[in-house]
Amino acid sequence: MSLVEFTETIVKRLVSEADLVKVQRFESDEEITIEVLVAEVDMGKVIGKKGKIANSIKTLVQAKAYNDGEKKVRVNIDSF
Cα-trace Rg, the chain: 12
Half-sphere exposure of 11 (CA within 13 A, CB side): 35
Q: How many C-beta atoms surround the C-beta of residue 41 within 10 A? A: 12
**Confidence tier at 65 by pLDDT (50, 70, 90):** very high
3-state secondary structure of 36: strand
Quote the mean pLDDT of the chain. Answer: 97
pLDDT at 31: 95
d(CA 26, CA 50): 27
pLDDT per residue as tens digits for the range 18-47: 999 999 999 999 999 999 999 999 999 999
Mean pLDDT of 53-64: 97
3-state secondary structure of 15: coil
| Angle formed at CA 3 by CA 9 and CA 74, multiple of 5 degrees | 110
Delineate the domains of the chain, giving CATH numbers in brackets.
3-79 (3.30.300.20)
